Amino acid sequence: MRDFALIAEALSDADRRGEPAVLATVVRTEGSTYRRAGARMLLRRDGTTVGAVSGGCLEADLAARVDPLLAAGRPELVTYDTRSDEDLVWGLGLGCNGRVDVLLEPLTGDALARARAVHARCRDLSEPAVVTTIIAAGARAGARVGDRVMVTESGGPVALGLDLDAAPPELLVDACEALAAGSSTVRAYGAIEVVHEVVAPPLSLLVCGAGADAVPLVRLAVGLGWRVTVAEHRSGYARPDRFPGAAVRLPDGDASAADLGRGCDSAVVMSHHYERDVLYVQALLAAGVPYVGVLGPRRRTERMVAELGVSDADAARLYAPVGLDIGAETPDEIALAIVAEVQAVKAGRAAGPLRRRPGGIHDGACGSDPAPAAADVSPRCAP
């Protein structure tokens, strides 16, 4: 998520300047809310902010809490409940019909350093993880609000303020279950309440081709916080200054298309050179890239499929013509159509109008769950 990178940078700046800050994190939601659990923002004493926890309706109230929080030096859990249409919340009459619990943490000294470490680790993730955060703790709980631990599939738990020896043993088991389910949850362990927040690594996109139409695509993807790599065989086009924020590679020199595509969430083939596009498509399908978009007419891709003898299973990962049908004509519009389709496929959505979607906008909210039944836990994730 782009917020992690921006907040990590802002925390580093605050640390260098010796300035305090307040971290606001949505830890639980019910009903209709603008952002889900995991949304976060950093508020600084000078009034600057990074990130967002709502569409702008909560931020003013949060900003008013900064000075009192820093003066008190204690975290606070704040609830905003807008489920009653008859109740003019804070005199604003929001009428969002939802509840949002926001953890506010005053950050100075060691607390600021820990928060910076958490956000830097989340920024640099290469696999899904769970960040477990203490959001409430009794006086004798042996834990502090804001203490954290991170769990990934491939490594053991990393303590980020939380004393693992003193933590309830089932806490790490539940963190692993949240990771396996891909769903954040709030749980209570006696006097301790935590949020197990599932954090996904940034979406990765490989763009095969560095023509003029690749520039807006890369710019838009980088702006969303995606990890973008541009593969281009022409050294005059494969210049980092043309694609700020992206890695630029010469696949015929230091890596093959298959090497570049391995581990990517998505790839878009747009070199405007038929033979080269055929090689790109072949390599990307062999690398197992889940989404392979191909720019150009449908018949052109059908010819590729026939020449390569692509199986039906592999053909299901080909998106050609690439992009959603939004009437795109210009390079910027085409880039928007492509990015929207990549996002939809990654999220498992049909990409239709929201007004036609049954139920809520989001798949679910992060609320308090009952204790789960016993379940197997991956050994790599187990404490």
What stretches of the chain adopt beta strand conformation (E)? Answer: 21-31, 40-44, 49-51, 76-81, 98-107, 129-137, 148-152, 158-160, 185-189, 192-199, 204-208, 227-231, 247-249, 266-269, 291-294, 318-319
Q: Which of 54, 103, 53, 60 minimizes the C-alpha distance to 79? A: 103
- 381 has a pLDDT exceeding 60: no
pLDDT at res. 379: 27
Q: Which of 161, 137, 151 minimizes the C-alpha distance to 184? A: 151
Burial of 236 (0-12, 13-18, 19+ CB in 10 A): exposed
- 91 has a pLDDT exceeding 60: no
pLDDT in tens, 260-298: 888 899 999 999 999 999 999 999 999 999 999 999 999
User: For the residues 136-147, what does the mean pLDDT come to?
Assistant: 81
pLDDT at res. 359: 65
> Do residues 287 and 258 touch, judged by C-beta distance below 8 A?
yes
Q: How much of the chain, in percent, has pLDDT values that exceed 70?
A: 86
pLDDT at res. 377: 30
DSSP secondary-structure letter at 191? Answer: T
pLDDT in tens, 158-182: 999 998 988 888 999 999 999 999 9
For tokens 């890239």, the residue is 289
Return mean pLDDT, the chain: 86
For tokens 């009653």, the residue is 84
pLDDT band at residue 370 under the 50/70/90 scheme? very low
DSSP secondary-structure letter at 161? Answer: B
Neighbour count for residue 216 (Cβ, 10 Å): 18
Q: Collapsing DSSP states into helix, strand and coil, what is residue 283?
A: helix
For 74-83, 134-143, 199-208, 239-248, which range has the lowest pLDDT when averaged over its residues? 134-143
Please name the amino acid found at residue 246: A
Please name the amino acid found at residue 133: T
> Do residues 354 and 361 touch, judged by C-beta distance below 8 A?
yes
Helix, strand, coil tally for the chain in percent (to 5): 35, 25, 45
pLDDT band at residue 84 under the 50/70/90 scheme? low
**Highest mean pLDDT of the ranges 45-54, 79-88, 323-332:** 323-332
What is the distance between the alpha carbons of residues 229 and 344, in angstroms, rounded to a whole number?
A: 20
End-to-end CA distance of the chain: 26
User: Both tokens of residue 260?
Assistant: 């570049």
List, as one string, the DSSP characters of 47-101. S-EEE-SSSSTTHHHHHHHHHHHHHHT--EEEEEE---TTS-GGGS-----EEEE
pLDDT at res. 32: 66
pLDDT band at residue 317 under the 50/70/90 scheme? very high
What is the distance between the alpha carbons of residues 152 and 206, in angstroms, rounded to a whole number?
A: 25
What order of strands is seen across the sheet that includes strand 185-189? 158-160, 148-152, 129-137, 192-199, 185-189
For 59-63, 200-204, 243-247, 298-302, which range has the lowest pLDDT when averaged over its residues? 59-63
More reliable by pLDDT, 96 or 278: 278
What is the distance between the alpha carbons of residues 177 and 297, in angstroms, rounded to a whole number?
A: 45
What is the distance between the alpha carbons of residues 242 and 240, in angstroms, rounded to a whole number?
A: 5
pLDDT band at residue 352 under the 50/70/90 scheme? confident
**Highest mean pLDDT of the ranges 3-7, 265-269, 368-372, 378-382:** 265-269
Please name the amino acid found at residue 45: R
Would you call the peptide bond into 321 cis, given omega within 30 degrees of 0 as the criterion?
Answer: yes
Question: What domains does the chain contain, in order, with CATH numbers?
Answer: 1-124 (no CATH), 127-159+174-201 (no CATH), 204-355 (3.40.50.720)
- 380 has a pLDDT exceeding 60: no
